[in-house]
A and B are shown apart, each in its own frame.
Chain A
C-alpha cells in the first residue's frame, strides 16, 4: 500500500439530465479521467439529502462531487439552486466543526460538457491527492 500511489476515492452524485449525461458523453468521446470516482445517479442535484454525503465521508470517501445543471437549465426549474443552499449549509457546518469542507464539491456540468466533466474529475482528483487520504477513513468511533 505504501509503495502504490494514493488514488482518491470520489463519490459522485450526478443529476440525470445534465452531469450524468455529461459523464456519459465523456465516456463515449473517450475522455480520460481518474477511475477513482464512483457515480451515483440522481434525477436532480436538488434530490440530494446530505445524509448520503455525510455517510460517504464518514465511511471514508476522500471526496464527494455533486454535479447538477447550470443555473437556469434545471429540468425541474430550480432543484440545482436548492442544492446549492444545502451544500453551502453542509460546508458551513463542516467548517464550524473543523472538518475539511474541500471534501465536498458542487459543480455545474451540462449534458454537452463531457470534456468539462473529465477535466473536473481530474482537477478534484489532483486536489484530493494533495490533501491526502480522508482522515475519517481510519476512525472507528463515529
Chain B
C-alpha cells in the first residue's frame, strides 16, 4: 500500500477530488467514472456514470445519502465485460457487497477500479432531502466533524439504523484499489489517499497522483475507536432483537405489516437472482391449491407465504449480508429487516467462520465444504 497527503490547491475538498477524478478519467486507467452527483432537483445525490469530465461538476464522493446500493448498479454495468475499465466511487458497504457479488460472478472485478471513500454515516433520502431544503450542507457538516472524531447526525435528523451499527466506517486497500480517507483528516486543507501498490504505480506513472508516502496517523486510531463503539451499539441492537423475536409469535409480530412488495429483495445488493423463486412459476399457485391450504388450516394469510418469503431469503443470502440496510430504506412499512438479517447473520456467519466482504479469495460458504464439519450444527452428532 502507498499513501499520499495532498495539500489542497483547489478552493475546497470537492474541487480537489474533482481535479483528481478529471485526471483519472483523462488517463487510460478508466474509460468512465461512476460517482455520486447532485441531482438536478438539488436535494439528492445519485450515482452518475460519467464520460464527459465537465460533468464531474457537482459530484460529492462523501454525500451522506445512499438512495441505491451502488453494488447493484455496478453489477448491471459489469456482469459481462463492459469492454472498458470503469472507476467506481463507493462507500465501504458497497465495496463489501462488490466482493460478495464477485464470488457469485455478478461483477467483473477486472473491469473495475474501485475507489472506497470513508463513510461518515448516511441519511435516508427523504431525510437528506429535508436537510438540504432547510439550508444545511450535510456532507460538509460531517466532514468537519470527522477530523476530530465520531460524527453526530444533524440535530433534527438521525442516521440510517444500519449506519449506527456499522463496523466498517473505513476500508483498507485489500479489496479495493484506492481509498479516500476522511476520518481524522483536515479536509479543509488536505486530501488523504491510499492505493494498492499496483494502482499507486499506475497512478504515478500517468501523473494522475504522486504518492509522497505521508500517512495520517490519526485516521487509523480514530477508525479503531469508532469501530469499537459501533460494535457495542450493534451488540445492543442484536441483543434487543433476539429477545423480541424468539418465537413464531415474535416473527408474526415483526412481519405483521409486511406488504409483500418485495422491495427488500429488489433493493438488496446480495439478492442477485435475475428471477427470484418467489416471482417464478413455482409460486404461481392455482385457485384450488389456495383453497386446499385454507381448508387444511381453516384460513391462510393472503397473499400467501409471507413468513416463508422472509425465512427463505434469510437462508439464501444471510451469509453474504453485509448489513448495508437498504432493506430498511426500501421497506414502506418500516419493518426492521436489517436487524433481522444482522441478528440471524451474526450467528450464521460465525458458524461458517465467514465474514462477507473480507476477501475475494474466500469462497461463498454455500459453494464449498470441508470433509468433517458442522456435524453438531446439522443435528447429526451421535448418528
Contact = CB atoms under 8 A, between A and B. Distances in A.
B369 A93 contact: no
Interface centre among B248, B299, B344 (most CB of A within 10 A): B248
Interface of A: 49-51, 54-55, 58-60, 71, 78, 81-82, 84-93, 95-99, 101-102, 104-108, 135-142
B318 interface: yes
B353 to A, nearest CB: 12
Nearest to B319: A89
Contacts of A142: 252, 300-301, 305-308
B293 interface: yes
B371 A71 contact: yes
Given A60-B296, A96-B347, A140-B297, A78 B369 contact: yes
Interface of B: 242, 245-248, 250-252, 277, 282, 293, 296-301, 305-308, 311-312, 314-316, 318-319, 343-344, 347-348, 351-352, 365-371, 373-375, 377-380, 383
B297 A93 contact: no
A136 B308 CA distance: 12
A86 B366 contact: yes
Contacts of B383: 107-108
B148 to A, nearest CB: 38
Contacts of B315: 50-51, 54, 86, 89-90, 93
A59 B294 CA distance: 10
Nearest to A141: B301
A108 B247 CA distance: 30
A120 B374 CA distance: 20
A104 B379 contact: yes
25 contacts: A50-B315, A51-B277, A51-B282, A51-B312, A84-B375, A85-B374, A86-B315, A89-B351, A90-B315, A93-B318, A95-B347, A96-B343, A96-B347, A106-B378, A107-B383, A135-B248, A137-B297, A138-B297, A139-B248, A139-B252, A140-B298, A140-B300, A141-B301, A142-B300, A142-B305
